[in-house]
Amino acid sequence: MPDAPVSRRSFLDTLLFTSLSAAAVTALAPIPFFLRPPPGIRPSRVRVGKYPDLFQKTPAVIFEYGGRCGTALLDGEILRVINLRCTHQGCDVVLNWEKWQFECPCHGAVFARDGSPVKGPNEGPLASIPYRIVDGELEVGE
């Protein structure tokens, strides 16, 4: 016994549903990979250098910490260790030596030397990185 012929409308509805379902699965499939952090992205601690010697020539030192940049900044007698990732969209900020402030080249956010926001699009202050002095060396990290 032959099957009843499929109407054109029913065929197009099935084709549309299948196409939209395939597109949704394709678009949503990578999401779980972005929800969990990659393993080993942030080291537990990084030694930057001898604490008194770091600031002999310049009041700020740039270092790499877990694939990102950070700075150790001597502000008078206060040592500040700041993550250089902008809180707006994650671009690396740069230190403007003349104005002593951090500026984001992507969208114009400006942060004071302590990391607090001054102007522009941002989601709060720059993150501080925990640090300690171990055997006379500056060690950053958790």
Q: Domains (ranges, CATH) in the chain? A: 45-141 (2.102.10.10)
* 89/102 Cα distance (integer angstroms): 15
Instruction: Count how many Cα atoms sit within 13 Å of the Cα of residue 140 in the half-sphere of its side chain.
Output: 25
d(CA 42, CA 73) in angstroms, rounded, equals 21
Stated pTM of the model: 0.63
Question: Which of 46, 86, 96 has its CA nearest to residue 67?
Answer: 46
- 7-60 tens-digit pLDDT: 899 899 999 999 999 999 898 888 877 776 555 555 567 888 888 788 888 888
Coil, strand or helix at 52: helix
